[in-house]
Amino acid sequence: MIQIKNAKELDGMRRANALSAAALKYGGEHIEAGMTTWELDKLIYEFIVKHGGIPNFKGLYGFPGTACISLNDTIIHGIPSHDIVIRPGDIVSIDTGAKVDGFNGDNACTYAVGKIDLEAQRLLDVTKAALYKGIEQAKAGNRIGDIGCAVQSYCEDAGFSVVREFVGHGTGHELHEDPEVPNYGHAGRGPRLVPGMTIAIEPMICQYDCKITQSKDGWTVKTKDGGLAAHFEHSIAILKDHTEIMTRSWDDPDFDPDTFRFQ
């Protein structure tokens, strides 16, 4: 069942997503070649806890980390590890969130480590742009299918492919709520978007084929052909006259996570 948030609940969602976005940007700014993904995860954990939040990925369905940290051909759900070292030229996806006063935030971004090749950069640019194409369609009166259609058409027109097995979702008191928000589909189909809905839109886009493979750890999802993958995510609120990007600060070049304070 889709949960419609009232004004007080929306304020709670804003706080949770503000901390989530600050933690994501903090992690992104501290990526260094030579560090392990476990070390990066620890930094994000400490940031969330320092500001009074609960790392809401940690322990969820048994996931051991504060963030899913996925390198190169790993699409999503990379487990932080002492054995995975970040190298120059890698692309690193961080997907993380915080729970604040019973509400959940969720967001993701793929970062370049130093200089990456032109096709890898194009994948990042297209995936991020597709996220905003989806958000443009996420407005009261439209349908879920309008979001997926916008993401899919933009990415496929650029020559990339869209993961089918994993999708965006509603957010709220639970990290994953109804409705599912696919990154593919047909305009004019699916549940109608109404004021008070809060959803996470998260394109997961592959450089080549969209077929996936699941690792033996039960979590890590990779491209089957070894191509690169990118992942960007915002949590948004559908309001009567506009759509609010609650995690907008991770993409704000002027935002300094070291100065984060709850408003």
Render each residue's pLDDT in the chain as its tens digit; 263 residues. Answer: 999 999 999 999 999 999 999 999 999 999 999 999 999 999 999 999 999 999 999 999 999 999 999 999 999 999 999 999 999 999 999 999 999 999 999 999 999 999 999 999 999 999 999 999 999 999 999 999 999 999 999 999 999 999 999 999 999 999 999 999 999 999 999 999 999 999 999 999 999 999 999 999 999 999 999 999 999 999 999 999 999 999 999 999 999 999 999 98
* Burial zone of 7 (CB within 10 Å; 0-12 exposed, 13-18 middle, 19+ buried): exposed
Mean pLDDT of the chain: 99
The answer to whether 244 is annotated as binding is no
The answer to whether 233 is annotated as binding is yes
Q: How many residues does the chain have?
A: 263
Amino acid found at 237? A
pTM exceeding 0.95: yes
Amino acid found at 139? K
- Report the CATH architecture of 7-258: Alpha-Beta Complex (3.90)
The answer to whether 30 is annotated as binding is no
The answer to whether 174 is annotated as binding is no
Distance (Å, rounded) from C-alpha 158 to C-alpha 35?
33
Pairing status of strand 91-96 against strand 212-214: unpaired
Q: Alpha-carbon Rg of the chain, whole angstroms?
A: 17
Q: So where are the chain's domains?
A: 7-258
Predicted confidence (pLDDT) per residue in 2-16, tens digit: 999 999 999 999 999
The answer to whether 180 is annotated as binding is no
- Tell me the CB-side half-sphere exposure of residue 233, using CA atoms within 13 A: 31
Q: In 3D, which of 101, 109, 106, 145 has the Cα closest to residue 12?
A: 101
Residue 56 zone, left/alpha/beta (φ > 0; ψ -120 to 50; rest): alpha
Residue tagged 């506009």 (tokens):
242
Distance (Å, rounded) from C-alpha 224 to C-alpha 208?
10
The answer to whether 241 is annotated as binding is no
The answer to whether 202 is annotated as binding is yes
| Structure token digits, residue 259 | 């100065």
Q: Sheet harboring 91-96: ordered strands across?
A: 67-71, 91-96, 107-112
Predicted confidence (pLDDT) per residue in 152-183, tens digit: 999 999 999 999 999 999 999 999 999 999 99
The Cα-based distances of 73 to 79, 97, 108, 225, 238 in angstroms read: 14, 22, 16, 9, 33
**Residues facing 169 on adjacent strands:** 180, 200
